[in-house]
Homo-oligomer: A and B are copies of this chain.
């Protein structure tokens, strides 16, 4: 089925979401939370329709010969829809990111100045397969007082359409005012040109967040006239210093590489300082036994050869730059922490890096000198996640330094305005 697209109706939809967002920004916390509760309840009520729509997407994917992993990401069942509804309710239970005053100060002339949290406005979310992103993203935006324009992948088109229909019914049943109930917009077409068009609406959409593969992110970055918060590659490093506890090292490296290798905060390169080479046999054995294929530097390859471990090498620049997203790992011995930081500067993607050490000076240098979004000491890179860091819920992980850098929670969907209260002051 083709879904023809009209630039005029797309523009009208974005304009309507923008009007709604202005009204939504003025709604009290209770009304926004009620909207989320109604959205969750509507998802549950429309489980059958959503499953039927999802069935169409799944059949199409199978007809097109998509692999099982792809279909698994796409497929919904009653439990998954219940999880989506629960996630929306959990967001309702989070503290309101709006309305608070971040700072208040008084000027010598008596002016009282404050920064107050307000929504960003309208957020465009452009994403791929998983249909649960539809309800997660919509809920985070409504909670934070933002309008949202959703553009999901064509593979999940029918599922997303059914989910949005349910979410909108929830908004209509809520205590939001009438205008604010239009705050969820949906790009109701599979035509790719619609995305290019959408990305020109800089007067209606305040920020675009692409979530998906490199192709999608590059496309959005190249075509957008709207500010983009990128969620780019995670070429994450762990550096092992000689003073690190060997049991911690083994546990953290296995956790960071093996627990869920396909995600952006998994370790992709291990840097072993010369001071820690005596730990290499244990490290390489443990990783190898866990099924990790090792791309080794000349020094570590000799250790692996002595241990008769399977190995790939010598590792080259391409291996150091690779986001494997699988049970593969590059390993490099470097003389000092300075060399490790240089390696990260050159090959890293500014996402997440960890140092394992018990040396305070090394720890402080690493924290000072590594400018990635998340810098960890003695912990797994897998903690680089909004939920794990205590942000409550995550819309993504930004590798753009502007506005939000690293995991983004509700607060990162807001900005501040200045509020200035005087008693008749004029400027002299």
Contact = CB atoms under 8 A, between A and B. Distances in A.
A307 interface: no
A105 interface: yes
A26 B427 contact: no
A382 B227 contact: no
A22 B342 CA distance: 11
A372 to B, nearest CB: 7
A423 B357 CA distance: 10
B378 A424 contact: yes
A368 interface: yes
A374 interface: yes
A422 B376 contact: yes
A329 interface: no
A12 interface: no
Given A377-B421, A424-B245, A403 B402 contact: yes
B390 A107 contact: yes
Interface in A384-428: 384, 388-390, 400-403, 405-407, 415-427
Count of identical protomers in the assembly? 2
A11 interface: no
A390 to B, nearest CB: 5
Contact of A426 (B221, B255, B416, B418): B255
Interface of A: 22, 25-26, 105, 107, 111, 113, 116, 118, 120-121, 202, 206-207, 221-222, 225, 227-229, 245, 247-248, 251-252, 254-256, 259, 345, 363, 367-369, 371-380, 382-384, 388-390, 400-403, 405-407, 415-427
Given A121-B401, A416-B405, A417-B374, A426 B382 contact: yes
Contacts of A367: 116, 419
A221 B245 CA distance: 51
A256 B25 CA distance: 28
A420 B22 contact: no
Of A111, A221, A252, A426, most buried by chain B (CB within 10 Å of CB) is: A426
